[in-house]
Structure 1
Amino acid sequence: MKKYTSVTAYLADLPTMQREVAEVMRDLLADAAPDATEVLSYNMPAIKQNGQVLVYFATAQKHLGFYPTPDPIEAFASQLKGFQTSKGTIQIPYNQPLPVKLIREIVAFRVKQVEQKR
């Protein structure tokens, strides 16, 4: 797997449809957590605040992987019923619109978690 040096380089390497979805996610995360910094972590785009990664995302062949850590997966379980999930992952199929409101709520949950740990 290619090692990326920036989120921009990561996105530039994607096929058009995946890049478009990833760019929407990138903009959504920047808006949902304006005090966070965009980083690459584990070779995936992520946002970090107060030294902690809030969420990651990465493209796959048939879905966008959204990695908000395990706690939000549990906290939002009822709202995630229509998505494939695992301990810390939400798979958002490309043939469905991004669940913008839910993503914003999950990011806000993570920001609150990180702030409480300070």
Structure 2
Amino acid sequence: MTAIADHDSYIAAAPEAFRPVLNRIRDLLREALPDAEEMMAYQMPGFRIGDTVVASYAAFSKQIGLYLLAPAISAHAEEIAAAGLKASKTGITFPPRKPIPDDLVTRLAHASSRHADD
């Protein structure tokens, strides 16, 4: 498999139904993390502050994943559950037809960035 070089290429290679949601997540993360640099790691697009990847996202066969530092997920666990989303220690998955709310993405990104130096 050829490595994907950047966010644009990653989103373009995703299934068509996923692209609008992936673009929206990227835009929200870019806005919420103005000091972060866009990068690719583990074949996923992400955002890094210093040496720490504070947010990334991925498209799978039936769902999208948003990945953040564990303290951000745990601090918003009740809100994530209330939105009907599935969360692990460092990620939230959801179908493209029921995307994660914009304001939750922003709050999670801010919370994750606060732990970049931990």
Q: TM-score, with normalisation over the residues of structure 1?
A: 0.89
Q: Which runs of 5+ in 2 are unaligned?
A: none
Once the two structures are superposed, the pairs formed by residues 1-118 of structure 1 within 5 Å of their partners are 1-81=1-81, 82-114=84-116, 117=117
Identity percentage of aligned residues:
29
Q: Aligned residue pairs: how many?
A: 116
Q: Which runs of 5+ in 1 are unaligned?
A: none
Q: Give the CA RMSD over aligned residues.
A: 1.5
- Which ranges of 4 or more aligned residues in structure 1 deviate by more than 6 Å? none
Q: In the TM superposition, what whole-angstrom CA distance separates every residue of 1:77-109 from its partner, at most 9, and x where no partner exists?
A: 100111111121101221213311111111111
Q: TM-score, with normalisation over the residues of structure 2?
A: 0.89
Q: In the TM superposition, what whole-angstrom CA distance separates every residue of 1:25-45 from its partner, at most 9, and x where no partner exists?
A: 111111111111110011101
Moved more, 94-103 or 50-59: 94-103
Deviation at 1:2, TM superposition (A): 3.8
Would you say the 8 A contact 2:69–2:115 is kept in 1? no
Matched to 2:3, the amino acid is K
